A = this chain, B = another copy of it.
Amino acid sequence: MTSDTIQPLVNQLGKLDTQLFETDFLKTWTRSGADLEAVLLAAETIEKLYAENVSTRVFDTGLAVANFRDNSTRTRYSFASAANLLGLTVQELDESKSQIAHGETVRETANMISFLTQVIGIRDDIFLGQGHKYMVDVGQAVTEGFREGVLPQQPSIINLQCDLDHPTQSMADLLHLKQHFGSLEALRGKKIAMTWAYSPSYGKPLSVPQAIITLMTRFGARVSLAHPAGYNLVPETLDCAANFAAESGGAFEHVESMEEAFCDADVVYPKSWAPMHVMEQRTQLLQTGDSQGLKTLEQECLANNKKFVHWECDKQKMAATKNGSALYMHCLPADITGVSCEEGEVSADVFEHYRLQTYREAGHKPFIIAAMILLTKRNNAADLLGRLASANKPRHMTA
């Protein structure tokens, strides 16, 4: 028999009016609050079933396609873990080994890899203005394929980071905060500092800060965004954050220093990103294959970054947070001063203090992704999870 903590989660999930079934999970800000809560509840349920050694194998066979157009470790493993947990087998789409080079269209490839595919996870975060578009195109292609009898099922698309959003990350972060504060409700009124931080690298996507400001404002948090002049985010996401804050009774402010953002914060999320205009230039240079231009841009950017080397999350800045003990968050890997670089986003002592917490934060991601797959593939996920709990089939034989 499974523990008493599972059924209440399933019941809560069952009461939500969600619209996730047969859709793609691309951006949190185009989903309802119920959809987002459902993802959290399903993730928590799967997490508990896992902990109690209950199999969540919904699929006996089936493929989960992963298309990483940029490097990844934790998201790659999280997606693989989530697929495996549900019984799906990951087949990575390696565009260098395929005939895509022969001029194949997105529409065709999307169908060709989907005949027995239940879900397609995509990371496409390098080209600003393109990543999200590509995911939409793939989604439309397989929707047409399913409607026209090409595909026996409609694979759902899961955004594993694009140029705009990084929903598997931000939803894992939200689950981390829900558990940290005890409930989603407790997030209301909490101050979250989403700030830029110095890194000796350039070209980091904007998707994490954009994901955080748009998501946390929905649940009543007071989000304070800080970055040096010029390190702007995509305007669409700033508008979303402002609107959500107004709706939820939270707040969204834009300040000019890490210190200001940290002041009395309950949570800090210091993280490097590239200025939007640099990402735009870089996208153009990458598309025209201008390697000299890319080198010049990199040099300029690194030099510009250098001006803001004091944007480091250190002990002194942490002291100004609520009771001097805000929760430090990061999507990892962090650029840690004296550890992974000479000068970075966070001092070694601060990072070490929160290191295991950032690992636990990351640990939610496989379950968040499994929840997204389940909810986009099944109309009544609550019932399904309840049946898995009742069946109580061991995930592995014990001895």
Please name all residues of chain B whose beta carbon is closer than 8 Å to the beta carbon of A56 when the two chains form the complex: 61
Cβ-based interface call for A383 (8 A): yes
Known A-B contacts A104-B73, A384-B397; the reply to A81 vs B362 at CB < 8 A is: no
Cβ-based interface call for A248 (8 A): no
A77 touches B362 (CB 8 A): no
Cβ-based interface call for A249 (8 A): no
Known A-B contacts A113-B77, A116-B81, A152-B51; the reply to A104 vs B399 at CB < 8 A is: no
Q: Which single member of B61, B112, B341 contacts A57 (CB below 8 Å)? A: B61
Mark interface residues in A360-399 (1 if CB within 8 Å of B CB, else 0): 1011011000000000001111011001100001111111
Cβ-based interface call for A150 (8 A): yes
Chain A, 37-82, CB within 8 A of any chain B CB:
50-51, 55-63, 68, 71-74, 76-78, 80-81
Known A-B contacts A60-B57, A363-B150; the reply to A97 vs B116 at CB < 8 A is: no
Task: Give bound CA distance, A77 to B58, whole Å.
Answer: 22
How many chain A residues sit at the interface, stated as a range, is 35 or more
Mark interface residues in A137-149 (1 if CB within 8 Å of B CB, else 0): 0000000010011
Chain A, 87-106, CB within 8 A of any chain B CB:
87, 89-91, 93, 97-105
Cβ-based interface call for A318 (8 A): no
Cβ-based interface call for A151 (8 A): yes
Q: Which single member of B116, B366, B381, B393 contacts A50 (CB below 8 Å)? A: B116
A332 touches B150 (CB 8 A): no
A151 touches B363 (CB 8 A): yes
> Which chain B residue shows the least CB distance to A385?
B399
Cβ-based interface call for A181 (8 A): no
Please name all residues of chain B whose beta carbon is closer than 8 Å to the beta carbon of A151 when the two chains form the complex: 363
Task: Give bound CA distance, A285 to B90, whole Å.
Answer: 38
Task: Give bound CA distance, A75 to B167, whole Å.
Answer: 32
Question: What are 6 A-B pairs at a CB distance below 8 A?
Answer: A62-B84, A73-B100, A74-B113, A99-B333, A115-B365, A378-B398
| A positions within 8 Å CB-CB of B | 50-51, 55-63, 68, 71-74, 76-78, 80-81, 84-85, 87, 89-91, 93, 97-105, 108-109, 111-113, 115-118, 145, 148-152, 201, 332-333, 335, 339-341, 356, 359-360, 362-363, 365-366, 378-381, 383-384, 387-388, 393-399
